Structure 1
Amino acid sequence: MGIGLGCVLVLSAAGAGWAYWHLNHNIKSVDIDHALGDDRPAKASTAPSPTGGPADGVPSASPPPSGALNILVLGSDSRGGERNKGLGGGSSTGARSDTAMVVHLDEGRTRATVVSIPRDTLVTRPSCPLPSGGSTAVAHGAMFNSAYAVGGPACAVKTVESMTDVRMDHYIEIDFAGFADLVDALGGVTVTTDQDISDDDSHLHLKAGTHHLDGTKALALARTRHGIGDRSDLGRIGLQQDLVKALLDQVSSTSLLSSPTRLYKVADAVTGSLTTDTGLDSLPKLVELGRSLDALSSAGTETVMMPVVPAPSDHNRVVADEPEAGELWRSLR
């Protein structure tokens, strides 16, 4: 889900005046670098990160950055706001990382590896700074998605870095409504399923085959798990990864520049639903990232899941399967 955002944002450079101001002020950000300090893994590359354009806010025409980059992309299950509550269903309060992907962009930005981390993975959650001050205690055998719940984006990033020893150069978060709006603004997304899906919880019922989904149904596909496989989080990860590639294909096939109205709808949907780190918290910075991904396609994107096995303490949970998981993270470093 996250890779397609950068590809869309390169097109939003056409915005100007009020539209530019609106899109730029849509974006919410968290200063993760300040929260976590210097006790972190080394950066993947010394190549410059996106810095945006000159003072007037217009992205520069200089070549975009091309060094290796790691981005933590989270899909939040927050029920904040009526639309998120309606799309999420149920009575859940607070917010967790419903979907977590480490997106590794190779040097040159023509290939990417997307690693999904199952939300039900038991991990050692490190001590994390709290937005209100103080810090959380180290927690052993904690659910991976609890890191976001107890400490927000900074704790999610710190937990991933602790698990992987891979520096997260950037952070991108999107909620239910934002994802659905993005898909709708793109005109829907075409996916192919190799099995029937019948999930009353996500309200998704699809026969095996090819379907063109609107935003609500695409979100349901990303969230469904009770109607496929072993009804666990692991089954739906494959659907989420297929959806990532389908979105990349949809972005590539949509002539946004020929339709200013659709272009603005896409840019508004993307920026209005994002929370980023401060390194990506403006339209120029996001456009710069988007420009650097111009040559990235679904064919150049590999999707994998962190190797896991059932947790000895609870077979409804999983733990990293070593040494395979460690070898995967070493390959990214």
Structure 2
Amino acid sequence: MTVRSGERGDDGGAAGRRVGRRSRLLKAAGLTLAGVLVLGVGTAGWAYWHLNGNIKSVDIDSALGEDRPPAAVSSPSPSSSASPLPSTALNILVLGSDSRSGAENKKLGGGDSGGARSDTAMVVHVDEGRTEATVVSIPRDTLVTRPSCPLPSGGSTSVAYNTMFNSAYSVGGPVCAVKTVESLTGIRMDHYIEIDFSGFAKLVDALGGVTVTTDEDIDDVDSHLKLKAGTHHLDGEKALALARTRHGIGDGSDLGRIGLQQKLVKALLDQMSTTDLLTSPTRLYRVADAVTGSLTTDTGLDSLSELMSLGQSLRSLTSADVRTVMMPVVRAPSNPNRVVADEPEASELWEKLA
């Protein structure tokens, strides 16, 4: 049988229709894949932009100038590594602020709306090589000499003697907090990190909670926390209440609360090490959003890439590698409700971390 030009046999027509359908399906699949890729790239780009934009920063270096303890000297990096992670020793001032700004902070019991205080202060010293760290808590009730601090509006604060340590943040913000810590310790703070109440609670929730063991019953009317002695898995709100608890434990002072805060530091490190964030992009984003959304840093850490670089350089740290201590203090002779640095022990501690 002869097939004239322009005509098709039965098999040829079916084959042609199959080829046409396959072509259309492949085209549709290609367009769909392209759309998914564009959407994925766009979403990732938006997420990075959003997280990067979350971070607030303060230019502490410019504000304080050169009148500071010397910066640590960098050790030479191995030439075999193309792009080595930072490995020098680090000193980071970490503050937890009780800001009442925003509905979430007010709900969680922050300070008055007119300002904020450094409710928690820790100097985190990371040894050279980034394999061990020491966290030193500074009681907020410590009486110190607060140096003159520059103000954003111009001018400066007056030197204050025998004043509470946490007044530095209230009077001059992060810049004055850093300058006061450097004056107290003789150590340069390489970085500054501040997180508020809601950010801490969100971080704990994003990680799935933290497990903490308490040595005694807790019933604090101010933090609204009731816990029996023992091991508890806490959500963000209860973990924050534990960090704020001071009444009903020990002598009711800030010293007892510091012990609870140091337990929380260890618990957070343990939770982070057991949570594989890379296998859950959604949880990873929630953790990143919780951290960056309530974070204030110095300008050396005010981008997502800089924070990621810091995090990667500390990735080998576990709770077993972190030592938590409190600056040695004694009751202040002038006020039994305040403390002062216990010398020479306090100075010896800071010298070891310099």
- TM-score, normalised by the number of residues in structure 2: 0.85
Cα distance in 2 between the residues matched to 1:172 and 1:79: 18
Matched, 1:95 2:129: no
Matched, 1:326 2:341: no
Which residue of the other structure, out of 34, 42, 57, is the alignment partner of 2:62?
34
C-alpha displacement of 1:183:
0.3
Match of 1:25 in 2: 53
Change (3 A) 1:90 1:40: closer
Change (3 A) 1:241 1:39: same
CA distances 1:2-52 after superposition (whole Å, capped 9, x unpaired): xxxxxxxxxxxxx9311011001100000000000001001123259xxxx
Which residue of the other structure, out of 177, 181, 194, is the alignment partner of 2:202?
181
Match of 2:316 in 1: 295
Which residue of the other structure, out of 204, 212, 237, is the alignment partner of 2:233?
212
Match of 2:93 in 1: 72
| Larger RCO, structures 1/2 (Cα 8 Å, 6+ apart) | 1
Cα distance in 2 between the residues matched to 1:137 and 1:262: 46
Tell me, yes or no, if the aligned pair for 1:249 and 1:297 is still in contact at 8 Å. Answer: yes
Change (3 A) 1:90 1:16: closer
Cα distance in 2 between the residues matched to 1:90 and 1:283: 29
C-alpha displacement of 1:92:
6.3
C-alpha displacement of 1:94:
1.1
Which residue of the other structure, out of 264, 273, 283, is the alignment partner of 1:262?
283
Tell me, yes or no, if the aligned pair for 2:99 and 2:111 is still in contact at 8 Å. Answer: no
Tell me, yes or no, if the aligned pair for 2:101 and 2:113 is still in contact at 8 Å. Answer: no
Match of 1:138 in 2: 159
Please give the residue correspondences for 1:1-333 in structure 2 after superposition, counting only pairs within 5 Å.
16-47=44-75, 62-88=83-109, 91=112, 93-333=114-354
C-alpha displacement of 1:91:
4.7
Q: Identify the range of structure 1 (145-154 vs 254-263) with the bigger mean alpha-carbon deviation.
A: 254-263
Match of 1:5 in 2: none
Following TM superposition, the consecutive aligned residue runs of length 4 or more in structure 1 with deviations greater than 2 angstroms are 44-48, 89-93
Cα distance in 2 between the residues matched to 1:203 and 1:134: 41
Q: Identify the range of structure 1 (204-213 vs 85-94) with the bigger mean alpha-carbon deviation.
A: 85-94
Identity within the alignment, % = 80
Bigger radius of gyration among the two? 2
Cα distance in 2 between the residues matched to 1:233 and 1:44: 32
C-alpha displacement of 1:241:
0.4
Change (3 A) 1:226 1:275: same
Count of equivalent residues: 309
Cα distance in 2 between the residues matched to 1:232 and 1:151: 25
CA distances 1:143-171 after superposition (whole Å, capped 9, x unpaired): 00000000000000000000010000000
C-alpha displacement of 1:256:
1.1
Residue type at the aligned position of 1:290: G
Q: Identify the range of structure 1 (139-148 vs 86-95) with the bigger mean alpha-carbon deviation.
A: 86-95
Cα distance in 1 between the residues matched to 2:106 and 2:301: 27
Match of 1:52 in 2: none
Residue type at the aligned position of 1:19: A
Residue type at the aligned position of 1:88: G
Residue type at the aligned position of 1:304: V
Tell me, yes or no, if the aligned pair for 1:78 and 1:95 is still in contact at 8 Å. Answer: yes
RMSD of the TM alignment (CA)?
1.6
Tell me, yes or no, if the aligned pair for 2:99 and 2:112 is still in contact at 8 Å. Answer: no
Match of 1:55 in 2: none
Tell me, yes or no, if the aligned pair for 1:47 and 1:65 is still in contact at 8 Å. Answer: no
Tell me, yes or no, if the aligned pair for 1:44 and 1:70 is still in contact at 8 Å. Answer: no
Q: Identify the range of structure 1 (116-125 vs 89-98) with the bigger mean alpha-carbon deviation.
A: 89-98
Cα distance in 1 between the residues matched to 2:317 and 2:224: 33
Q: Identify the range of structure 1 (255-264 vs 140-149) with the bigger mean alpha-carbon deviation.
A: 255-264
Change (3 A) 1:63 1:16: farther
Residue type at the aligned position of 2:63: A
C-alpha displacement of 1:248:
0.3
| Structure 1 stretches lacking a partner, 5+ long | 1-14, 49-60
| Structure 2 stretches lacking a partner, 5+ long | 1-42, 77-81
Cα distance in 1 between the residues matched to 2:110 and 2:308: 34
Change (3 A) 1:44 1:18: same
